[in-house]
Amino acid sequence: MKALVYKGPGQKSWEEVPDPRIQHPTDVIVKMVATTICGTDLHILKGDVPEVQVGRILGHEGIGVITEIGSGITQLAVGDRVILACVSSCGRCSNCRKGLYSHCLDPEGIAGIGWIFGYMIDGTQAELVRVPFAENSVYKVPEGVTDAEGILLSDILPTGFEIGVQYGNVKPGDVVAVIGAGPVGLSVVMTARLYGPSKIIAIDLDDARLARAKDFGATDTVNSGDADWREKVLALTDGLGVDVAIEAVGIPQTFTMATVIVRPGGNVANIGVHGKSVDLALNELWIQNIDISMGLVNTNTLGMLLKLVAEHKLPADKFVTHEFSFDHIVEAYDVFGHAAEHDALKVLIH
């Protein structure tokens, strides 16, 4: 088969590799129908994730058809069309039993981390993929759900919903600010509406992304390049700040932005993947009674979100702006890696 192989920082290749095989009774082999690229993949290629070994097949999102099942599989069958969750979970360990799939304790890949595709084991940017713990890590795709819709359920929709909306404790009537109007930030904008906030404020440096955020459900937008951006955000509240500030970029400045617009008693939810330490002004924040949360997605809401997508309650297909064949995956990386130049959100590779 062919797959996208990590060759070291800045290097990748679409090349022939051995087909995967069943290694454990709970494995399945999936013939990939579609995959996509995530910002995490770009971080790996930049060398920011040194644990990823040269030779690793990249990718952790995908839809495909099961071609082979392990001897322990009873709830799935050859021919099933499935979504692969970006987090693999055994379903048996103490963390999985309380829904903390992101910290599955099974030693597959690495004990204590559920994100292993394209990180600790070969990933989904390939023609065939071995999926461990398949009955707890794939979801059958209902009739009528397209690849462009389903691919968003592997990672970014659950990430935005769980780590942004749920961890941020969004409630009816809240004023919610989302810092960063990229794919994950827009997934927050889209899924926050499920909880009935009175306002969703999208904050970004890019006016084109802010315009798109309106299409995803933002009620207001603020360009953070404006000198008075904070005053503009506060003017959209009662003057005391937003109820929930959600960071979806992953740099120190945007995290600090979240802490200076949240009201006393509010919530800051960090989704962004940070590569540098962040200063936390505890000398100012200790008295504010705010909660700060962060984490890796569990994908334990994937099944629920899939129902909403299937019933067209969440227009997930809006995220896909560009499509490529598998043989053009290197070109897809170039477009996604220069998203602003190409006005790209998510690329569908199929």
Q: Are residues 90 and 193 in the same domain?
A: no
Query: Is the pLDDT score of 23 beyond 90?
Result: yes
Does residue 16 sit in the same domain as residue 108? yes
DSSP per-residue codes, 75-135: S--TT-EEEEPSS---S-SHHHHTT-GGG--S-SSSTT-S--BTTTB--SSBSEEEETTHH
Q: How many domains are contained in the chain?
A: 2
Average pLDDT over residues 151-161: 97
161-200 per-position pLDDT tens digit: 999 999 999 999 999 999 999 999 999 999 999 999 999 9
Percent of the chain scored above 70 by pLDDT?
A: 100
Angle between helices 207-216 and 183-192 (to 10 degrees): 30
Domain hosting residue 303, numbered range? 2-155+298-349
| 187 within 8 A of 157, measured Cβ to Cβ | yes
Domain stop point among 279, 294, 309: 294
Same domain (yes/no): 208, 88: no
- pLDDT the model gives residue 48: 84
Dist CA 118 CA 61 (whole Å)? 9
Are 289 and 309 within one domain?
Answer: no
> Do 17 and 151 lie in a common domain?
yes
Condensed to tens digits (0 to 9), the pLDDT of residues 74-116 reads 999 999 999 999 999 999 999 999 999 999 999 999 999 999 9
- 326: which 2 tokens? 């598998």
Strand 175-179 and strand 199-204: pairing?
parallel
Handedness of CA 79, 85, 87, 89 (dihedral sign): negative
Q: How far apart are CA 239 and CA 253, in angstroms?
A: 22
* pLDDT, tens digit, 9 for 90 and up, residues 273-287: 988 899 999 999 999
CATH number of the domain to which 238 belongs: 3.40.50.720
pLDDT tens-digit readout, 323-337 = 999 999 999 999 999
